[in-house]
Amino acid sequence: MPSRDPMEPATARNLSGAGLTEAALRSFAHGDSERFNQIAQSLVRHLHAFISEVQLTEEEWAKGVEFLTRTGHITTDQRQEFILLSDVLGASMLVIGINNQRPAGATESTVFGPFFVANSPRFALGDNIANGAPGEPCYMEGYVRSLSGEAVPNARVEVWQADDEGHYDVQVAGLPAPRGRGHLFTDNDGRYAFWSVRPSAYPIPEDGPVGDLLAAANRSPMRPAHVHFMITAPGYQTLVTHVFAEGDPYLDSDAVFGVKSSLITPFARHEAGAAPDGSQVNTPYYTMRYDFTLAPTQ
C-alpha cells in the first residue's frame, strides 16, 4: 500500500467530538519541525477543549472572530493592539517569566508594551530626552553592572515613557519629532544619566477592542507610573524592564500584571535650585536613581 504524502492531510468524514479533535491533531503531525508540530497540536487540543468546556455558540464564535479582526485593523506601526491584548490577558508576563529566568541578583524583566519605536534619537549623557513633553522635570541616573558588580561600559540604554498627561509621543498627532524617548550609552564606569519628565499613571488605550474587553470585564485600564528601559551590551542578555514610581496607587492593580517589587524606586521631589548634575533648575523637580544588573548570555 503506497504511503501517504506527509504534506497531505488525512482524509476523514463524518467527524465530531473527540474524533474531530483527533483528526485535527493528526493534520498537524507532519510539519516542518517537531517544535512546530508540538505547538500546533497543543493549540488545537486546548482550543477544542475550551470550545467544548464553555459550549461556545456560533454567535459567540463569530464575535470572537470579529474581535480579532478589529484588533488587526487597528494595529499600525505605532500602535500594536495585539501586544496590548497579550498584555491584558497576562500572556506577555507568562512568556517573559518562562524565558527570562535569570540568576539571583539580575534585574527582573517585565512587559515590552505596545509603544516601543525603533530608531529612537541618540542623546549624550545628561541630555534632556523630554523634547517638550509636558511634565515636571526629572533627573534619572544610575549604573549598569554585571552580576559580579563590574561596570558595563558602552551599554545601550533605550528609554521611552509617557508624559504627565499619560500619553506617549506616538499617541499625540502632529508631533514634529519624538519626545520622551531616546537612547544613550553608559560611560566607562557604567553610568547613565538623563533629564526627562516625571512619569504619571495612565490608562492603556480604551478606544479599541482591548478597551472593549476590559469594559466588559469591569476591569481598570490603569497602569502605574513607570519608565521603560531596554538595555543591551555584548556578552549580556538583553534586559527589557520598567522602573516604577514608589507610592503609586496602581502598583497592585496594574492592567498588564507587570509590576515587580524589585523594580519600584522613589521619585524624590526637590525644590528649585542646584540639581545633581550641577545645573540650576528654576522649578521644583524630581530625581530617580536605579541601578541595573545584567545577566551574562550563557
Residue 264: predicted pLDDT: 98
pLDDT for residue 97 is more than 80: yes
Single-letter code of the amino acid located at 207: D
Cα(185)–Cα(123) distance, integer angstroms: 8
Single-letter code of the amino acid located at 273: G
Cell numbers for 190, please give them: 557604567
Cα(230)–Cα(241) distance, integer angstroms: 6
pTM for this predicted structure: 0.89
pLDDT class for 11, splitting at 50, 70, 90? low
Higher pLDDT, 176 or 194: 194
pLDDT for residue 14 is more than 90: no
pLDDT class for 7, splitting at 50, 70, 90? very low
- CB-CB contact of 159 with 195 (8 Å): no
Residue 158: predicted pLDDT: 98
Cα(184)–Cα(182) distance, integer angstroms: 7
pLDDT for residue 6 is more than 60: no
Cell numbers for 127, please give them: 541630555
Mean pLDDT (the chain, rounded): 93
Residue 173: predicted pLDDT: 86
User: Percent of the chain having pLDDT more than 90?
Assistant: 87
- Ranking 28-32, 114-118, 231-235 by mean pLDDT, the lowest is 114-118
Distant-in-sequence, close-in-space partners of 228: CB < 8 Å, separation ≥ 6: 113, 115, 116, 158, 159, 160, 161, 240, 241, 242
pLDDT for residue 67 is more than 90: yes
pLDDT class for 152, splitting at 50, 70, 90? very high
Radius of gyration over alpha carbons of the chain, in Å?
24
Please state the rounded mean pLDDT for residues 130-157.
Answer: 97
Cα(239)–Cα(295) distance, integer angstroms: 9
Q: C-alpha angle with apex 48: 5 to 86, nearest 5 degrees? A: 105
pLDDT for residue 213 is more than 70: yes
- Greatest mean pLDDT among 23-32, 76-85, 186-195 lies in 186-195
Cα(295)–Cα(20) distance, integer angstroms: 46
Cα(136)–Cα(288) distance, integer angstroms: 13
User: Percent of the chain having pLDDT more than 70?
Assistant: 96
Please state the rounded mean pLDDT for residues 245-258.
Answer: 97
Residue 13: predicted pLDDT: 77
- CB-CB contact of 182 with 126 (8 Å): no
pLDDT for residue 1 is more than 50: no
Residue 3: predicted pLDDT: 46
Measured from the Cβ of residue 182, the count of other Cβ atoms closer than 10 Å reads 21
Residue 5: predicted pLDDT: 52
pLDDT for residue 9 is more than 60: no
pLDDT for residue 146 is more than 60: yes
Note the pLDDT tens digit of each residue in 38-65: 999 999 999 999 999 999 999 999 999 9
